[in-house]
Structure 1
Amino acid sequence: MDSFPASAALRDLLASCLKFSGAPSVVDMDGTRRLAHGLGLTEGQAMRVLLARGIWPERFLRSRESVSEETLLRLLSSRVLIAGCGGLGGHLAALLARSGIGCLVLCDPDIFEESNLNRQRFCTEKTLGHPKVEACRDGLREMASYLEVQALPWEL
C-alpha cells in the first residue's frame, strides 16, 4: 500500500485528480475514489498514500491549521471501539468519523425506540425498530465513505 506505482497511466490518473489551489496539493472526494479504484485500494488507504506525499484530501483541508499531516495520518490509521450507539456513542462516532478516524467498531445490542428520537444522533423515524449499530453504521458511511465501520450487535 505504501508504494505508489510509477506507471505512466497512474501518474496521469493522479495528475487528473489533483486540485491545485496553491500549497498544499489537494484531491477531492471524487479524485480520491478514482485513485482508490485505479490503485486497487480502499478510499481510506488511498487517502493515507496521498497524505504521506503531502497531498491533502479536500474534506480535511480546513483542519490544516490545527492538525499536521502526521497527526491526520495517525488518525486515518487508528481503530476505535465504541460501546453503545445511543445518546453518547452515536454522537461520539459521528465526531470521530468527521475528524478522520480510519476505523470504528460499533457494539450495541439495542434497537431504536420512539423515546430515542429527541436525543440520539442516528435515531430517525425511518430507523425506529432497527438495530442501533446498523443505523449508526449506515449514517456514518453517508458522512465518511472512507471510514471502515464494523457493526456488532453485542453487549459489552
Structure 2
Amino acid sequence: MRDFRAALEALASENASRRVRTVGLEELRQLCRDHGLTLPQGAKGAMEQGVVPLPFLKNLHSLSISEQNRLMSATVLLAGAGGLGGYVLELLSRFGVGRIVVADGDGFEDSNLNRQLLSTARNLGSNKARAGAERARATCPLVKVEALEFFLDASNLQGVLTGVDVVVDALGGIAPRLTLHEAAGLAGVPVVSAAVAGWTALVGSELPGQKGISSMWTDPSDKDAEHVLGSLAPAACLAAALQAAETVQYLTTGSLRLAGRMLHADLAEFHFELYDLS
C-alpha cells in the first residue's frame, strides 16, 4: 500500500478552484491494476490520502473530504431493488457509499417498466438485485455493490445485518417491512423507510428502540395502497431521493432528520406535510 500511496502522490493533480488534489478514473484504474487493488479499494485509499477521485469531485463542498471518507467506509443494506430500491441504489452508489448490499429475490416483469429504473425490455425475468449490482458497477465502479438474490426474512436477516450501518427499506408489502424493522431494531441498526402509491409518497426513519413510520403498518396481512392506487414513477423517484438524502445525512453526520417523523408528499396537489409519529 505504501507503493500505491507514493504512485498516487505522483499522479495527483491540484484543482485550484476547489483547493483539492484529484485523480482521474482511468488513472486510478491503472494504478489499482499495477498494485493489485480493486478499484473500490483504490478509491478508498485515495480518499484517505486526501486525493479525491474525479467522479466524487462535484460532491464537494456540500460534503467535506472527511464526510466523503465516512461514506466510503460505510455499509448500507438496501432491502428491495424495485421501484424505490433501483433509484436509491443509483443515488447512493453515485454518492460514493463504499459498500452497498442490495437484497431482492424478485425478477422483473412487464408491469415494472413504468417506474423501475433498473428494468428494461431486455432484462425481463432477470433478478432485480443482480441487475442493480451490474448497473452500479458500470455507473460508479468506485464502490462495492453486493447482490443478494433472495428475499429477506426472519431466517436470514440476523446474518445479513452484521456490519451494516443503516438499512434502507425499499420493500413492497406490509409483512416484509415489519419483519425488517423488527430485525433491524434488535440488531441496533437504524432504518430509513418509504412507501408510494399513485401520486403519494411517504418517507420516515426509525432509530433502534424508537417507533416511527412502521407504526403506520399494523396488520401484516393488509395489502399496501399500491394495489388500490397504482404506482407512478414521480412518487417513486421523489421518495427514493429523500431516502438517499436521509441515509447520506446519517452516514456523514450521525443524525436522522426524519427519526420518529413522516414526510407525506401529495404530488397531485403539490402538498407536503410533516407528521410527528414518536
**Residues 14 and 35, structure 1, Cα contact 8 Å, conserved in 2:** no
Question: By how many angstroms is 1:13 displaced?
Answer: 6.3
Partner of 1:39: 35
CA RMSD of aligned residues (A): 1.7
Distance 1:94 1:13 in 2: 28
Partner of 2:134: 138
Partner of 1:118: 114
Could you report, residue by residue, the CA deviation over 1:83-137 in whole angstroms, capped at 9, with x for unpaired residues?
A: 1100011111111001110111111111100100010010011111111111111
**Residues 75 and 100, structure 1, Cα contact 8 Å, conserved in 2:** yes
Partner of 1:20: 14
User: For 1:63, which of 56, 59, 65 is the aligned residue?
Assistant: 59
Tell me the number of residue pairs that the alignment of Structure 1 and Structure 2 aligns. Answer: 150
**Residues 108 and 153, structure 1, Cα contact 8 Å, conserved in 2:** yes
Higher strand share: 2
TM-score computed with the length of structure 1 as normaliser: 0.88
Question: By how many angstroms is 1:14 displaced?
Answer: 4.6
Q: Secondary structure at the match of 1:88?
A: helix
* Closer, same or farther: CA 101–79 of 1 in aligned 2, 3 Å: same
Q: Secondary structure at the match of 1:40?
A: coil
Distance 1:108 1:35 in 2: 34
Distance 2:27 2:145 in 1: 22
Deviates more, 1:137-146 or 1:46-55: 46-55
Which residue identity does 2:3 align to in structure 1?
Answer: P
TM-score computed with the length of structure 2 as normaliser: 0.51
User: For 1:93, which of 80, 89, 92 is the aligned residue?
Assistant: 89
**Identical residues among aligned pairs (%):** 35
**Residues 107 and 152, structure 1, Cα contact 8 Å, conserved in 2:** yes
Unaligned runs of 5+ in 2: 153-278
Pick 1 or 2: higher relative contact order, CA cutoff 8 A, min separation 6. Answer: 1
* Closer, same or farther: CA 155–27 of 1 in aligned 2, 3 Å: same
Partner of 1:4: 2
Unaligned runs of 5+ in 1: none
